[in-house]
Structure 1
């Protein structure tokens, strides 16, 4: 009987601690994000140290936009190509989904967590992608601020 109460308590705690994502939270995604780790369904993690590319999101007030891969340069600029993934945000029940479209594929990811500095998505294979807010690099030491 004690075990049943423990399981119920832990389940309630888990559900209560999940972030409720509101439509106004979506604006926080705009900008550069660097992947920190991927958590697999079996609980294993893949940590990322240095990333050669960041994800850049731009979402408008109509919950439509795009995601691009950009490569940070030592002077604080980014190399950007023309390929991008169009994205539309979908609110369904208490969940938020990012629906992606390219000329080659369509897929969805669930937005689990968003804050000014953290971002977590879960895909159909139950992999969680953990991001941190990225800033342009400037290791030249010229004292100038990057844009």
Structure 2
């Protein structure tokens, strides 16, 4: 009986610690940074973003572009983008950027319909929220 309880408790504990990724295709779309958590534990909150990220993913490759939302509901392309691919490793999913020989990875720690989180090689954690368009039309 004690072994069953131990097994149940272990499975609950392990399932609670898993990375929350509902569906990798949810990465597609417009995301704005909400908060950055630094290795020291400090947070930087972003109340207003003048530039947001537009992610396009097909199969396991895509691009991330910087765009600026306009008051008419359209976007101004900042002509700044990065190519990336999604890589699965033992401890989770990674976004791997390879631009002009410069390779870096970010671990996806959260991806839902409305939230997105990644950790980079400097242990900075970036939290995004889905961008909601606005229009003055």
Regarding TM over 0.5, the answer is yes
- Show structure 2 runs of 5+ residues with no match: 1-8
The Cα shift of 1:21 comes to 5.4
- Does the aligned pair in 1 maintain the 2:68–2:78 contact within 8 Å? no
Q: Which residue of 2 aligns with 1:4?
A: none
* Number of the residue aligned with 1:112: 109
TM-score by length of 1: 0.79
Q: In 2, distance between residues paired with 1:94 and 1:122?
A: 13
RMSD of aligned Cα (Å): 2.0
Secondary structure of the 1:28 match is: helix
Q: Deviations over 1:6-62 (max 9, x none)?
A: xxx9xx84x54234456x71100000000000001111100001001111100102x
Bigger proportion of residues as strand: 2
SS, match of residue 84 in structure 1: strand
Deviation at 1:109, TM superposition (A): 0.2
How many residue pairs are counted as aligned between the two chains? 127
List gaps (5 residues or longer) in structure 1. 1-8, 143-147
Instruction: Name the SS for the 1:50 alignment partner.
Output: coil
Residue among 115, 125, 137 paired with 1:128: 125
TM-score by length of 2: 0.84
* Equivalences for residues 37-116 of structure 1 within 5 A: 37-61=35-59, 63-103=60-100, 105-116=102-113
Which residue pairs with 1:26 in the alignment? 24
Question: Which segments of structure 1 move beyond 6 Å, counting only runs of 4 or more?
Answer: none
